[in-house]
Amino acid sequence: MKRIMRRYYTEAKYAKLLGKKIAWITSGGPVEPLIAMNIIPIYPENHGAMIGASKLGGKMSEFAEGLGYSQDVCSYVKDDITSSITKESPVPGGLPEPDMLICSNNICGTVLKWYEIQARKFNVPLFIYDTPFVHTEFTDEAREYVNEQTKEYIRFLEKHTGKKFNYKKMKKVGHLSLEAMRLWKAVLDTAAHKPSPLTAFDAFFHLALIVTLRGKKVVVRYYKTLLKELNERTAHNIGAVDNEKYRLLWDNLPIWFRMRWLSDKFASHQAALVADTYTQAWCGVIDLIDENDFLGTMGEAYTRIHLNVGVDQMADTIKTFIKQYDVDGLVMHSNRSCKPYSFGQYDIQKLIREMDIPVLMIEADMTDDRKFSESQVETRIDAFMEVIKQRRK
Amino acid sequence: MKKENNLQVFRDIAREPYAYLRQLKQKTGKVMVGSTCTYTPEEILLAAGLHPFRIFAQSKEFSLADAHLQAYGCSMVRGMLEDGLSGDLDFLDAVVFPHACDSIQRLSDIWRLNVKSLHFDVLLPVKLDSELSKSYFVKVLGRFKKEVEEAFSVEISDANLRKSIALMNRLRTLLSTLYELRSQSPEIIGGSDLTAVVKAVMVMDKEEAEKQLQALVDVLKQKQPSGSAKKRILISGSVCSHPDIYHIIENKNAVVVWDDLCSGTRYFEGLIEQEEDLMAAIAHRFTERYVCPAKHLGVKFQMENLKKLILEHRVDAVLFMLLKFCEPFSFDFPDIKNELEKMGVRYIMVEMDQHNKIDEQMRTRIDTLLEIL
Ligand code: SF4
Ligand code: SF4
Percent with pLDDT over 90 in chain B: 80
At A212-242, the pLDDT tens digits run 999 999 999 999 999 999 999 999 999 999 9
A339 C-alpha to ligand 2 centroid (Å): 11
What CATH number should be reported for the domain holding residue B190? 1.20.1270.370
Write out the H or E segment, with its range, that includes residue B280: helix B278-288
Pair B302, B358 in one domain: yes
Rounded to two decimals, the pTM is: 0.96
Q: Is residue B22 part of a domain?
A: no
Q: State residue B2's pLDDT score.
A: 60
List chain B residues with CB under 8 Å of A154: none
Contact residues, A window 59-78, toward B, CB-based 8 Å cutoff: 67-70, 72-74, 77
User: What does DSSP assign to residue B276?
Assistant: S
**More confidently predicted of A308 and A393:** A308
The response to whether residue B326 sits with its C-beta less than 6 Å from ligand 2 reads yes
Inform me whether the pLDDT recorded for B3 exceeds 70.
no
Q: Is residue B25 part of a domain?
A: no
Q: Is residue B204 part of a domain?
A: yes
Closest in B114, B130, B136 to A141, CB measured: B136
CB contact under 8 A, B351 and A69: no
Closest in A73, A112, A145 to B132, CB measured: A145
Beta strands in chain B (DSSP E): 32-35, 51-54, 94-98, 118-122, 231-237, 254-259, 317-323, 346-352
Structural domain boundaries, residue B339: 229-373
**Mean pLDDT, rounded, for B145-150:** 98
**Phi-psi label, residue A350: left if phi above 0, alpha if psi -120 to 50, beta otherwise:** alpha
The DSSP secondary structure of A111-164, one letter per residue, reads: HHHHHHHHHHHHT--EEEE----BSS---HHHHHHHHHHHHHHHHHHHHHHTS-
What CATH number should be reported for the domain holding residue B344? 3.40.50.11900
Percent with pLDDT over 90 in chain A: 96
The DSSP secondary structure of B101-129, one letter per residue, reads: SHHHHHHHHHHHHHS-SEEEEE---SB-S
**Mean pLDDT, rounded, for A118-130:** 98
Tell which of B96, B128, B156 closes a domain.
B156
Pair B214, B233 in one domain: no
Neighbours of A387 (CB within 10 A): 14
**pLDDT band for position B371 (50/70/90)?**
confident
Q: State residue B1's pLDDT score.
A: 45
Pair B40, B162 in one domain: no
The response to whether residue B322 sits with its C-beta less than 6 Å from ligand 2 reads no
Lowest mean pLDDT among A3-17, A137-151, B6-20: A3-17
Q: Is residue B177 part of a domain?
A: yes
**Mean pLDDT, rounded, for B172-178:** 97
Inform me whether the pLDDT recorded for A114 exceeds 50.
yes
List chain B residues with CB under 8 Å of A111: none
Q: State residue B241's pLDDT score.
A: 63
Judge whether B113 is closer than 8 Å to chain A, CB to CB.
yes
The response to whether residue B74 sits with its C-beta less than 6 Å from ligand 2 reads yes
Q: Among residues A283, A303, A330, which one has the least CA distance to residue A179? A: A283
Q: How far is CA A176 from CA A180, A210, A281, B286, in A?
A: 6, 11, 18, 42
ipTM over 0.90: yes
**More confidently predicted of A377 and A16:** A377
List chain A residues with CB under 8 Å of B324: 70, 72
Q: What is the SS3 assignment for B320?
A: strand
Q: How far is CA B171 from CA B166, B201, B313, in A?
A: 9, 9, 22
Pair B92, B3 in one domain: no
Lowest mean pLDDT among A38-52, A269-283, B213-227: B213-227
Q: Is residue B20 part of a domain?
A: no
Report the alpha-carbon distance of residue B308 to residue B289 in Å, rounded. Answer: 13
Judge whether B125 is closer than 8 Å to chain A, CB to CB.
yes
**Mean pLDDT, rounded, for B297-326:** 95
**pLDDT band for position B223 (50/70/90)?**
confident
CB contact under 8 A, B72 and A339: yes
- Structural domains of chain B, count: 3
At B242-254, the pLDDT tens digits run 778 888 898 888 9
Q: Which residues pair with B25 in a beta bridge?
A: none
Q: State residue B96's pLDDT score.
A: 98
Q: Report which ligand 1 atom has the smallest distance to the Cα of A76.
A: 4
Contact residues, B window 67-96, toward A, CB-based 8 Å cutoff: 67-70, 72-73
Q: Report which ligand 1 atom has the smallest distance to the Cα of A341.
A: 2
Q: Is residue B366 part of a domain?
A: yes
CB contact under 8 A, B327 and A128: no
Q: State residue B333's pLDDT score.
A: 96
- What chain A holds in terms of domains, given with CATH numbers, is 2-166 (3.40.50.11890)
**Mean pLDDT, rounded, for A247-260:** 97
Report the alpha-carbon distance of residue B140 to residue A139 in Å, rounded. Answer: 9
Ligand located closest to A308 CA: 1
**Phi-psi label, residue B43: left if phi above 0, alpha if psi -120 to 50, beta otherwise:** alpha
Ligand located closest to A27 CA: 1
Average per-residue pLDDT for chain B: 93
List chain B residues with CB under 8 Å of A80: none
The response to whether residue B294 sits with its C-beta less than 6 Å from ligand 2 reads yes
Judge whether A109 is closer than 8 Å to chain B, CB to CB.
yes
A80 C-alpha to ligand 1 centroid (Å): 12
Give me the torsion for CA of A74, A77, A80, A83, rounded to 10°. -70
Q: Is residue B24 part of a domain?
A: no
Tell which of B226, B254, B286 closes a domain.
B226
The response to whether residue A26 sits with its C-beta less than 6 Å from ligand 1 reads no
If you take atom 1 of ligand 2, which residue's CA is the nearest one?
B326
Q: Is residue B273 part of a domain?
A: yes
Pair B257, B344 in one domain: yes
**Mean pLDDT, rounded, for B76-94:** 97
Closest in B68, B126, B130 to A346, CB measured: B68
Q: State residue B55's pLDDT score.
A: 96
**More confidently predicted of B199 and B366:** B199
**Mean pLDDT, rounded, for B147-169:** 98
Inform me whether the pLDDT recorded for A40 exceeds 70.
yes
> Least CA distance to A314: which residue of chain B?
B109
Tell which of B128, B156, B184 closes a domain.
B156
Report the alpha-carbon distance of residue A276 to residue A257 in Å, rounded. Answer: 17
Pair B243, B363 in one domain: yes
At A295-311, the pLDDT tens digits run 999 999 999 999 999 99
> Least CA distance to B300: which residue of chain A?
A120
**Mean pLDDT, rounded, for B11-16:** 95
**Mean pLDDT, rounded, for A193-202:** 97
Yes or no: say if B227 and B205 are a contact pair by the CB < 8 Å rule: no
At A156-183, the pLDDT tens digits run 999 999 999 999 999 999 999 999 999 9
**Mean pLDDT, rounded, for B297-309:** 95
Pair B187, B251 in one domain: no
CB contact under 8 A, B113 and A142: no
CB contact under 8 A, B330 and A136: no
Yes or no: say if B121 and A359 are a contact pair by the CB < 8 Å rule: no
